[in-house]
Amino acid sequence: MTENKEKTTIVLFSGELDKAIAAFIIANGAAAYDHDVTIFFTFWGLNALRKDEQAAVKKGFLENMFAKMMPRGANRLGLSKMNFGGMGPKMIKHVMKKHNALSLPELIELAQEQGVKLVGCTMTMDLLGLQKEELLDGIEYAGVAAYLGDATDAKVNLFI
């Protein structure tokens, strides 16, 4: 049934607000055009999926350090340019609101509503000590093999 649909995949490797916004705008656009869309979150990209509140999970020392040093969720990401210790993201969020552009949490919600498949990279989660309880609900979990399976069927494959 989905065989005839165009497919689009995005690897979101970067953990920055601006890159995550670009990824979700492209993903939501493609979904609106009725593509099957997968975003595969790996390395720092996983931070965009972290829940706002701290999950009650047990971690080792290094895993705890990673968890503390990395931004917890879409609202806390920095910018790849002009971050200025957090002023940059505030400015971007301000102008986005002013122009009625969706915020990153809203873009993520829209993606889930549109059926964009959000996949957490299990290998990176192991490495960084991130657990499913810490990530948003409705995420799928897989490794590079699943990503390649989707990408091989897709025409648009981006690494962001």
The residues that touch a copy of itself, with contacts defined as CB under 8 A, are: 6, 8, 11, 13-15, 18-19, 22, 25-26, 29-30, 32-33, 35, 42-44, 62, 65-66, 69-70, 80-82, 91-92, 94-96, 99, 101, 123, 126-129, 144-145, 147-148, 151-152, 154-160
Structure tokens at 29: 């656009």
Are the C-beta atoms of 23 and 111 separated by less than 8 Å? no
The least CB distance from residue 70 to a copy of itself, in Å, is 7
The least CB distance from residue 58 to a copy of itself, in Å, is 17
The least CB distance from residue 131 to a copy of itself, in Å, is 14
Helix (H) or strand (E) segment spanning residue 159:
strand 156-159
Helix (H) or strand (E) segment spanning residue 62:
helix 61-69
Nearest C-alpha neighbor of 7 from the set 41, 33, 46: 33
The least CB distance from residue 135 to a copy of itself, in Å, is 18
- Taking the alpha carbons of 99, 20, 142, 147 in that order, is the dihedral positive or negative? positive
Nearer to a copy of itself, 30 or 137 (CB): 30
Nearer to a copy of itself, 95 or 138 (CB): 95
Are the C-beta atoms of 107 and 28 separated by less than 8 Å? yes
